């Protein structure tokens, strides 16, 4: 199965995926380097995930997209983090685009926003909302204590251990001075694993349905040919 992993980050969602050919897109070179070290067999593209989706979506069987969540998060509406800013509509652009253009399986992940979602999500688990074109169940992995407020090197190391992602030093996401932010952005590997298992089941069902449709069509054609040969039609 050919998989496109957009806004791949450190690759938390992808860590436990098996038997798939993954292309990952991440715009930050330092983050992409950590991803590539974790998943050396993946094709890692450093670039604009939003544009890459538009130009390449037809090449894949399954697309996972996790657009930046900061402008949607309830955190920007609270305390010292309160800041007036536009929500990034790329989230909804991609949902609508995939709904109407992509024939494969797809999923878009983001945080629970401070407003009512503009498109109803398919599933909710912990701090995540998911939009998809297939049904699935997922059990959220409980976050460590002080998950949201962790903002120092010690907290960063704790999150690395929780995610099972190892790299030296700190990475600061998008100019942020919090070394734990890039780790908080990650989907826990167990969540990614649960979802991918159900993607594989949905993909198998989709292939089976396609083969049955082709069989029915071939059978209908064979019956029609036989009837025409016998002069019935």
Give CATH for domain 2-202.
Answer: 3.40.50.150
Domain spans in the chain, listed from the N-terminal domain onward:
2-202
Pick from 41, 15, 40, 36: nearest CA to 25: 36
Phi/psi of residue 44, nearest 5 degrees: -100, 120
Per residue of the chain (233 residues), give pLDDT as tens: 999 999 999 999 999 999 999 999 999 999 999 999 999 999 999 999 999 999 999 999 999 999 988 766 766 666 565 678 788 899 999 999 999 999 999 999 988 888 899 999 999 988 889 999 999 999 888 887 777 666 677 778 889 989 999 998 888 877 777 888 888 889 999 999 999 999 999 988 666 566 666 655 666 566 666 666 766 65
Give the span between the Cα atoms of 184 and 99, in whole angstroms: 28
User: Would you tell me the crossing angle of helices 49-56 and 90-101 to the nearest 10 degrees?
Assistant: 10
């Amino acid at each position: 199965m050919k998989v496109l992993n957009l806004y791949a980050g450190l690759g938390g969602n992808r860590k436990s995926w098996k038997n798939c050919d993954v292309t990952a897109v991440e715009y930050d070179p330092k983050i992409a380097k950590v991803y590539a070290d974790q998943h050396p067999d993946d094709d890692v593209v450093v670039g604009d995930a939003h544009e890459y989706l538009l130009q390449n979506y037809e090449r894949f069987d399954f697309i996972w997209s996790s657009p930046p969540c900061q402008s949607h998060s309830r955190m920007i509406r609270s305390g010292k983090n309160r800041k007036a800013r536009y929500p990034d509509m790329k989230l909804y652009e991609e949902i609508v685009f995939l709904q109407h253009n992509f024939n494969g399986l797809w999923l878009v992940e983001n945080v629970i926003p401070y407003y009512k979602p503009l498109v109803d999500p398919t599933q909710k688990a912990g701090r995540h909302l998911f939009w998809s074109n297939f049904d699935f169940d997922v059990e959220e992995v409980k976050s460590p204590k002080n998950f949201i407020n962790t903002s120092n090197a010690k907290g960063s190391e704790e999150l690395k251990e929780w995610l099972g992602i190892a790299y030296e030093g700190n990475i600061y996401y998008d100019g942020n001075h919090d070394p734990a932010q890039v780790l908080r952005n990650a989907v826990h590997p167990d969540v990614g694993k649960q979802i991918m298992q159900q993607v594989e089941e949905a993909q198998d069902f989709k292939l089976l349905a396609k083969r049955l449709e082709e069989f029915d069509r071939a059978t209908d054609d064979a019956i029609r040919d036989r009837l025409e040969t016998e002069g019935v039609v």
